[in-house]
Amino acid sequence: MSSNKETAKQIIQIIGEDNITFMTHCATRLRMNVADENKVDLNALDQVSGVIKAQIKSGQLQVIIGAKVAQVFEEASKLVSLSDNQVQSTEIKKNIIARVVEAISGCFGPVIPVLIGCGMVKSVAAILTTLNLVDPTSGTYQIISLIGDLLFYFFPFFLAVSAAKKFKTHEFLAVALAGALMYPTIQNGALQAAETGVNSLSFLGLPVLFVNYKSTIIPIILSVWIMSYVYKWVNKLIPDTFKVLFVPMIVLFIMVPLELIVIGPFGTYLGQGVAKVVSYLYTTNGVLGALLFGTFRPLLIIFGMHYAITPINAQLIAEYGYSVISPANLTGNLAQAGATLATFFFLKKKSEKAEALSAGVTALFGVTEPAMFGFNLKYKKPMICAMIAGGIGAAYINFWSGGATAVILPGLLALPTYIADNYIHIIIGISISIALAMIGTLVFGIGSKPKADDTTIVSATKLDVKPFAKGEVVELNKVNDAVFSTGVMGNGFAIVPTEGKVFAPFAGKVTMVFETKHAIGLRSDNGVEVLVHIGLDTVNLKGEHFNVRIKEGDTIEAGQLLVEFDLEKLKELGYDTIIPFIVTNGAEFAQVTPKLSSDSIEFALA
């Protein structure tokens, strides 16, 4: 079977990259505007592995892919040289938290192998110095340390490239934004602020705070995301003749001050406030403070606010000889390790298992970025388990007055720095964190979606479907679209609606909601996957006249209201309002045969 990348490559080759003037996709097909329809060989497109059918309809080239259309579109968009407004992805609708997590995880994806590699080197360096096998002042150690630190120090540069790809904007302008964050004037100012007493520059009367941006995450990702919109706006505003001269200059003039004055320091300002809250909680109720800080510390790391806690640790050690805050750093990191190691048992691919194992090991030695961003945040449930486990472990240690005598990378090798009198409780506390994170992840799973190449086990022999809309139930061949009527997308039926409401045809889950709101994917409790497509070519409405009542991941009951749409308006605009109902994983059954009636539809599956 052809890969999505190969399918996209063959499609673009047949159509011709220069022949494509616009490209988007809907629930089932790639949609393209082409300069010359005569250059498009529809028969050749039909022969491409992964293509169900190609057709030109209403002046638009449509390449029907089916369920994998989003993946093929993503690969195809990399092969055509179109501006951002000429390539429009119809993404599945998700809630804001899911989109933020997906954006952060998506930016980390390409960096994970290097992140794990550098993390392992840092772990080796820590072991070598702990066992006195290498002199920390030697050139050998400095080179090893350089290898381990190179990604972490220059993190903004790495993330700038992956963020630019994620947000489909100019990669080298994104790198320039990273350069602004890491510019020596800013970095040296941050390092020398305590000595010089100068903590900012002035730009047009506005303060530019000196912040140490090495290893930071959110400032560059947020900056590149905002730049993706600024770049589109400026690129559209400037005439083609002057784009090369003025677009980069104007974008940088807008973005760099915005980045250094507002976006970058935001985490620092917020972190200072969090540091005061943490200090207050530990002072008034240490156990509660440890529980809360240990639980929410990973969120501080994500937003780059955890550095604000370091001065408090250092001050406590200077005054009392130890810090009661440090144990939360240790239990939090080891909980991340435990959760990631547990994901190993849920992952299917050997490469993913190997990465999870490596990330978990590096987290044990205090380098949590590969574990946190590569796995736990990506799958969400392991992150929640790790946060709770880290908080409980920290609270236990604080109850027994445990503390650290030095500020050191919080991992297993930091154990010698903890107070000897309470050492047994330190061991118990970190054991609690690791165990709870692992057990929680093993019990609740990783909540991942089946990958495209995973096998879905379906045990159904029949599927009872309630009519999901008021109207006439008709056979699929009545649909005025060959993609549906010929059954190439899968077997099913359709309803000619008399009311603008779509209800759940069975109990199950929502697997996808397209941003254009005209199509939803559902999965029954016994594993049958279906597509409900409201009207024909209604993707062109871009969500107008539709009101979706559910979101991806929701559990639904039969008869539950899913979507409302303005039926009369769609008819007035000339759209065919018929609603096809397609079983999309029919290939997993020997047959999919609907038995139609006015009040129920039964699919015989074998």
- Residues 294 and 393 sit within 8 Å (Cβ to Cβ): yes
**Distance between CA 257 and CA 206 in Å, rounded?**
9
CA dist 221 and 559 (Å) reads 42
Residues contacting 39, CB < 8 A, separation 6+: 15, 16, 19
Q: CB atoms < 10 A from the CB of 59, how many?
A: 8
Beta bridge partners of 50: none
**Could you give the CA distance from residue 148 to residue 158 in angstroms, rounded to a whole number?**
15
Element holding 189 (H helix, E strand): helix 184-196
Catalytic residue among 26, 107, 118, 385: 26
CB atoms closer than 10 angstroms to residue 196: 11
Contact at 8 Å (CB) between 143 and 169?
no
Task: Kindly give the pairing relationship between strand 471-475 and strand 546-548.
Answer: unpaired
Contact 437, 389 (CB under 8 A): yes
- Name the DSSP letter for residue 138: S
DSSP symbol at 477: G
Q: Is 107 a catalytic residue?
A: no
- The angle at the Cα of 432, spanning 428 to 436, to the nearest 5 degrees, equals 170
Polymer length in residues for the chain: 606
CA distance 368 to 387: 13
Measured CA to CA, the distance from residue 403 to residue 497 in angstroms comes to 68
**Which candidate, 83, 85, 82, places its Cα nearest to that of 15?**
82
- Which pair of structure tokens corresponds to residue 463? 């599927």
344: number of Cβ within 10 Å: 17
User: Residue 223, Cα to own-chain centre: how many angstroms?
Assistant: 17
Residue 597 burial class via C-beta count within 10 angstroms: exposed 0-12, middle 13-18, buried 19 and up: exposed
Q: What b/e sequence results for 469-505 when a residue is b if at least 16 CB atoms lie within 10 Å of its CB, and e otherwise? A: bebebeebeebebebbbeeebbbbbbbebeebbbbbb
The type of residue at 266 is F
Q: Strands of 462-465's sheet, edge to edge?
A: 462-465, 601-605, 592-596
Q: Are 470 and 497 in contact (CB under 8 A)?
A: yes
CB-based contacts of 195, cutoff 8 Å, min separation 6: none
What type of residue sits at position 213?
Y
- Torsions phi, psi of 522, nearest 5? -130, 155
Structure tokens at 186: 């800013």
Q: Is the dihedral of CA 145, 146, 152, 158 positive or negative?
A: negative
Q: Which residues are catalytic?
A: 26
